[in-house]
Amino acid sequence: MKREIKLYLDDLLESICLIEDYVNGIDEITFEENSQIQDSVIRRLEVIGEAVKHLPDDVKEKYPRIPWKEIAGLRDVLTHEYFGVSIPRVWKVIIDDLPKLKEQIENVLKENS
């Protein structure tokens, strides 16, 4: 695996781990009431989306079970419609999508190390 591809995947994984740290021990209500945590999580989701956009198509094609397009699309929603961000939707991404994505990215890195 090219070094630059690994760096993007590492950025993805690091951002997921940071989000996990930010929300560790809190529930959805606390998340909805804490704009500082929201801002931190949203920024990391933007980093995840940006990293995905920089991955070459051949990497994305090799791992079609990872929802690359949706990940990149989330970044666009967060960046271009900031005032319309649905905090409950962000929480759902954190709880439902990030654990699976973390596992998938870890597997990609293991397969290519």
Distance CA 51, CA 68 (A): 10
3, 43, 44, 75: which is the annotated catalytic residue? 75
Angstrom CA distances, 63 to 16, 91, 93, 107, stand at: 18, 25, 20, 10
Domain ranges of the chain: 3-111
Residue 107 — pLDDT band, cuts 50, 70, 90? very high
Residues above pLDDT 70, as percent of the chain: 95
pLDDT at 82 over 60: no
Q: How many CB atoms lie within 10 A of CB 63?
A: 14
| Residue 71, burial from CB neighbour count under 10 angstroms (0-12, 13-18, 19+) | buried
Residue 74 has what pLDDT?
84
Q: Both tokens of residue 82?
A: 């900031």
Q: Is 44 marked active-site?
A: no
pTM equals: 0.90
